[in-house]
Structure 1
Amino acid sequence: DIVGMRKHHGLGMKHKDPALRHTVVALLGRFKTESGEKYHLMPLAWQSRSGLQPSIWVERMLTWYEKRKVPQGPVFRTSVGQRAKPVAYQPLLHQLLLDIQEDRPDLIPRGIDVVEEYAVGRSFRRGSNTQAINQKVDERDIDLNNRWRRFEAARGRQPRLQMQQHYADVMQMLPALLRYSAAL
């Protein structure tokens, strides 16, 4: 959601502790046991160990929408402004990965069936979790970071979370949440 991304990105970038400056992916959803729409916030480190800078890309996305005078709505949208389904990006993902496979078989060996092995719905989280494990991120930090998947899987119901995750405030959990993305 553009409004949530703008609001929370700005707050994260202005955090009083420079070590905790971050961006936020704000997922907007409606849950059966709650009234109204709620944000599920996913803080991301300003920069990861490998040099990824999610804050820069969030800023670019927000600027892109601002220049086009799109103040609200889904970040991933159809040409008419409705929320796009992730599967709509699958052909683009496959083509990009096939191009990488062709140019850099050291990254994606030619024997891998890209269309069969990679999907928008699973590849990014799987790769992220694998990298976190390789970087020796604590399992509790990985589980905490993946709690949004439980919201997604609940499909409109309140997800089952550990009691601490129900009541803990995102800002209070910020150091633990940022350890995950900072390690990637």
Structure 2
Amino acid sequence: LRELEECNLSKENCIDELRSKLSEHENTLEEQKKQIDQLSDELQQLNGIESKWQTCQRDLANLESDCQQAELEANECRQETERLLQLVETLTNSNTLLKTENLTLTSKVQSLENADSSNSEIVERLNQRLTNLEEEYLEHQRNARTEVESLEALLSEKAQLDHANLIKALDYSIMLFD
């Protein structure tokens, strides 16, 4: 009977040990499930980050394209300025033409300002790395605007001088005929 009790006790100890191991395995499985869930969450976050990165890359490419376009427009504006200077030299007696060209330049400056506003909105959404590119673009625009303003001032001054010279010539002609 004693052997039977010892055997039962041994069996109970084995059962307790098996239950303990089963509990450990269940805890391990639960921990692994938590780790899998955590890794799944991290994977979803990484997918979101990758999507944001791709969006940022697209925005960067768009900004670079916009900046190249702005540089082309600035070059076109400089070429237009040179053409207008030549036109002023040959057509100084046409005040109407000067006003028309002045309106054209004003419209082009407005277009550059609108493009700058649009570019500024895009740049605000990008990170610090894009700031240097924006500053370079704004410097090009300021230079173009300065050239246009200088031309407008020169055109205005030239028109006033030509107008004054024309009036003097007319007055002189009238004096000759009197």
Q: What's the TM-score, normalizing by structure 2?
A: 0.24
Does 1 or 2 have the higher relative contact order (CA < 8 Å, sep 6+)?
2
Select the structure that is richer in strand. 1
Question: Larger Rg: 1 or 2?
Answer: 2
